[in-house]
Structure 1
Amino acid sequence: MTNTSPLLSVGDLRVEVGERTVLDGITLDIQPGSLMVLMGANGSGKSTLGLTLAGHPRYRVTGGSAQFNGQDLLALKPEQRARAGLFVSLQSPPDIPGVKNGLFMRSALNAIRESHGETPLDAFDFLKDARALASELGLDAKLLSRPVNEGFSGGERKRNELLQLALLKPRLALLDEIDSGMDVDGVRAVVKLVQGMRAQGTAFVMVSHYLQLIESLTPDAVLRLDQGRIAETGTLALAQEIARTGFARNSETAEV
């Protein structure tokens, strides 16, 4: 890891959903090209962190800060955060009836290109790139002409998220259980894409409990969240310990 300024710097972030505090003082730094894994029991705040950083209106920030690439991330609208280079995949990607998958992706890509002063891609050039990437990811190119995620299997939804990631080329990607519903080939596609994008400077925060995937990705840091706080910070060894002991026993060990 080089001594560069963090791409993302989160300080004492506190978030409420309704009347409930979900994040209770999260502090972390993400360097360009780094990979951090978030682990934790259900309800520990893993998904909330990603959705908060993306600007989901349901999640109300009550304290703390988040700086992204030198900007106050929390002051930006969700679309501005995406154009600045933040990508968030969803644990359960929703259907978007009536919106063609390819058009959805091309519109997102061109919005980012235009914000950078680049020429928008026409349909022909976009489809050429999208079909090639879809083939590499094991996604049927025919799904580009169907409504977003409508009738897609779990694995197809996750591969579709990977295709968006590959096309948009963000500075930072937060992937929430991207391996869920994936077969062996799908997991291999995740590893190949993440490794390739890291080499080009993209940073990753991944929510996962799949030890084989985590080991293949060789993360720079592993964080265990518990009740909206970072309970432990470690390396791959922490993920391996959690896989052996589970979260309950791990919590007792950490307290001792």
Structure 2
Amino acid sequence: MSEVLLNINGLKTAVEGKEILKGLDLKINKGEVHIIMGPNGAGKSTLANTLMAHPKYERVEGDITFEDEDITELKTDERAKKGLFLSFQHPEEVPGITVENFIRSAKIAKDGQLIKFLKFDKDLKNNMKELKIDPEYAKRYLNVGFSGGEKKKNEILQMLMLNPKLAILDETDSGLDIDAIRVVSEGIKMYANEDNGVLIITHNTKILENLKADYVHVLVNGKIVKTGDASLADEIEKNGYEAFKAEAM
């Protein structure tokens, strides 16, 4: 079995006729944590949404393989069943569906089998405790009345419960205070292991203070223009993106 989890080759994506991703290449192996950073409008969220086949994002060119299988033409639910997970930058409120019921239904749909309720309940409570989420929130409607930080923690809770093969986290740390970022980082560390992978899209180097990244990529003007280790994030924090913008021209 190949160690390559995700392989993106020459990906071009358009939104409403405008090309955003302009030939992006990226490979993620099992056991790796990858960070993508870049200025506003670089295409970071476009990449995340393209990977999950959001209908607004039109793949113009290129292919995506996941565990050696071409998933380029698969729909969102099919990709989720293969093991891809996307946490939203702006999680939606869903009145009428509790957090517990949402996660239970999603897990059944993903795994294609009934779950053991006692184990599910135990795992849910344990993960909520680790993420410092009030257990009463399991009975509340999904994200309704939640603060920004609570919504982001809830996304990490879903990731832990669904246990995907690849977690794509789109600015999960945005708008969080230092304590909440630390909790989110701990949740990611709880999830990450040698058989799965993590792709974090972020503006904020704070999350890297509590999380070991294998690779940091700089995305500018629809392409990855530089890849390095965690020190690359420090360089960005210090000098910004101007030097990388010149490379993308």
TM-score (norm 1): 0.91
Summarize deviations over 1:54-82 as a string: whole Å, max 9, x none: 11100000110000112222222211111
Partner of residue 87 from structure 1, selected from 85, 90, 94: 85
Q: SS of the residue aligned with 1:201? A: coil
Q: TM-score, normalised by structure 2?
A: 0.93
Q: Which residue of structure 2 lines up, in the alignment, with residue 150 of structure 1?
A: 144
One-letter amino acid of the counterpart of residue 113, structure 1 = D
User: Distance in 2 between the 1:198 and 1:127 partners?
Assistant: 22
Q: Give the alignment partner of residue 231 of structure 2, picking from 224, 237, 251.
A: 237
Structure 1 counterpart of 2:173: 179
Q: What is the number of equivalent residue pairs in this alignment?
A: 249
Question: SS where residue 59 of structure 2 aligns?
Answer: strand
Structure with higher helix content: 1
The 3-state SS of whatever aligns with 2:115 is coil
Report if aligned partners of 1:44, 1:225 keep a CA contact under 8 Å in 2. Answer: yes
Task: Supply the AA of the counterpart residue of 2:230.
Answer: L
What amino acid sits opposite 1:214 in the alignment? L
Residue 214 in 1 paired to residue 211 in 2? no
Alignment of 1:122-141 (within 5 A): 122=117, 124-141=118-135
Is 1:18 equivalent to 2:33 in the alignment?
no
Letter in 2 for 1:239: A
Partner of 2:210, secondary structure, is: helix
SS at match of 2:4: coil
Distance 1:86 1:62 in 2: 21
Q: Which runs of 5+ in 1 are unaligned?
A: none
CA deviations 1:118-177 (Å, max 9, x no partner) are: 54233x542332122111101112111111111100000000001001101111001011
Instruction: Work out whether 1:67 is the aligned partner of 2:65.
Output: yes
Instruction: Indicate if the aligned counterparts of 2:33 and 2:215 stay in contact, CA closer than 8 A.
Output: yes
CA contact (8 A) 2:87 2:169 kept: yes
1:120 aligns with 2:115: yes
- Would the aligned equivalents of 2:12 and 2:23 in 1 still touch at CA under 8 Å? yes
**Alpha-carbon deviation of 1:255?**
7.0
Partner of 2:192, secondary structure, is helix
Give distance in 2, aligned partners of 1:121 and 1:82.
21
State the 4+ residue runs in structure 1 displaced beyond 4 angstroms.
none
> Given the superposition, is the C-alpha separation of residues 200 and 168 from structure 1 closer, same or farther in structure 2, using an over 3 Å criterion?
farther
Asked if the contact 2:12–2:61 (Cα under 8 Å) also holds between the matched residues in 1, the reply is: yes
The 5 A counterparts of 1:36-51 are: 36-51=34-49
Q: CA RMSD in A?
A: 1.9
User: Which stretch shows the higher mean deviation, 16-25 or 187-196?
Assistant: 187-196
Matches of 1:178 and 1:201, distance apart in 2: 22
1:76 corresponds, among 58, 74, 77, to 74
Aligned residues: percent identity? 37
Equivalent pair of 2:32/2:194 in contact (CA under 8 Å):
no
Residues 200 and 236 of structure 1: is their aligned pair in 2 closer, same or farther, counting only changes over 3 Å? closer
